[in-house]
Structure formats: structure tokens, C-alpha cells
Amino acid sequence: MKISWNDFVKQCESCQACPLGATRTNVVIYRGSVVAPIMFVGEGPGATEDEQGLPFVGQAGRLLQLLLDAQGFSTENYHIANVVKCRPPENRVPTEQEAAACKKLLGMQILICKPKIIVLLGKTAYTLFTGDKNAKMTQIRGSFIEKNGYLIMPTFHPAYILRNNNERVKLWKDIEQVRRKAEEMGLMERLPSQPDMPTERPSK
Ligand code: SF4
């Protein structure tokens, strides 16, 4: 059954399928474009995201944005979402049950947006997509895998990079690979020259 984006948003806004629905301020669905070729999937909203109803707008989000901007991504190129759409208390990792409850909505989101490339930001997203709970991000990041017709790139969550800034270059390289793949596939225009990695830290 086909569902419109507006109906999907209404379903998200009224969802109480897991306990996170009871404590949220806003359901956090996406930012970017609803027809973008590249989807980024993180873990769950934090305090700023819960307050604003937008994903990746806190410090980690600003780091991601810094890297995306430097690689020439514009709003129409990406759709940013999370494994769960409501904030886990104290920014804890969503439980398996919460992630499973929200999976149906994320599945609908993917079907509506039809991305060609999905970037999994961190272990929670990787586990949800692959079922692999034991993978180490240091070992699996940076290589595309194909799953259900989507090209998938696992990489570090930007919150991890905020705590381990010496690893920033790896997230940068992974985003660069996504950019190159998108160029190869005709999803983004080529950049005239290779940009330098931004080194500033987003403020808290
Ligand atoms: S986290 Fe997802 S499943 Fe849980 S209440 Fe929010 S929208 Fe529904």
C-alpha cells in the first residue's frame, strides 16, 4: 500500500508504539529533502533535537553539517533521520525493543524517499540494518555493502568523533567516498577540486 509523505508524518506524530512516545516533546522525523538520493541514519534525538523537532541539530549534528557542507552536499542531496524518532531519556542508547518498534516507521520513510545510498551513522543503525550486534565500527566502516537494493556505508556517529577528534579524518573519508559514489551514479555533480577537511569544533 502506498502512503503519502503527509500521512506518514501524521502516523509518526501520533505514534505511541514504544515508551519513548510518552516523554518526547516532538517527534523527530527528518531534515533535508524527502526525495534526496542519500539518506543518513543516526541513533536517536538528543535534547536539542527533541526541542526543535529536527534531527542532528545539536553539537554532533553541527559537526556532521560542517563535513557535509565542506564536501559540497546541499539540502536537496540528503535526508537525515534516526533509528528512533523520540528522544531516549538522558540520551541513552535506544533499547532493542524501542528500535524494533520504530523500525516500521523508518522502513516506510525509506520506501517513500527511495534513497540510492544509505549512510549508517554508528553501531545502533548498523545493527538495526544488518542484525549484527557484534560488529566493531572500526572494522566495518568505510566500505559499501549492498542490501535490499540499497548501497550502504557504515561509519562513525559524529557524537563519537566529538569525543575522539583524532578519528575525524575517517568520518571525513567515508563521507568523501559517499560523495564520489554519488558522483559516479550521477546523483551529484562533480566537485571542481578536492576540499580540505574542516578542523574546527562546533560549539556546545
Ligand atoms: S520512538 Fe518511534 S516507535 Fe517509539 S513512540 Fe516514537 S515514533 Fe513511535
Q: Which of 145, 142, 166, 146 is nearest to 156 (CA)?
A: 142
Confidence of residue 2 (pLDDT cuts 50, 70, 90): confident
C-alpha span between 190 and 184 (Å, rounded): 9
Considering the domain delimited by 12-183, tell me its CATH architecture.
Answer: 3-Layer(aba) Sandwich (3.40)
CA dist 150 → 14, 114, 146, 188 (Å): 29, 9, 6, 17
Prediction pTM value: 0.97
Ligand 1 proximity of 17 Cβ (cutoff 6 Å): yes
User: From the CA of 42, how far away is ligand 1's center (Å)?
Assistant: 15
In tens, the pLDDT along 15-66 reads: 999 999 999 999 999 999 999 999 999 999 999 999 999 999 999 999 999 9
Q: Among 102, 103, 106, which is best to mutate for testing ligand 1, by the most ligand atoms less than 8 A from CB?
A: 102
Q: Which of 87, 23, 24 is nearest to 55 (CA)?
A: 87
Residue holding cell 559516479? Answer: 184
User: From the CA of 88, how far away is ligand 1's center (Å)?
Assistant: 10
Q: Would you list the domain boundaries of the chain?
A: 12-183
User: From the CA of 10, how far away is ligand 1's center (Å)?
Assistant: 12
C-alpha cell of residue 111: 520506501
pLDDT at 96: 96
Closest residue by Cα to atom 2, ligand 1, is: 102
Ligand 1 proximity of 137 Cβ (cutoff 6 Å): no
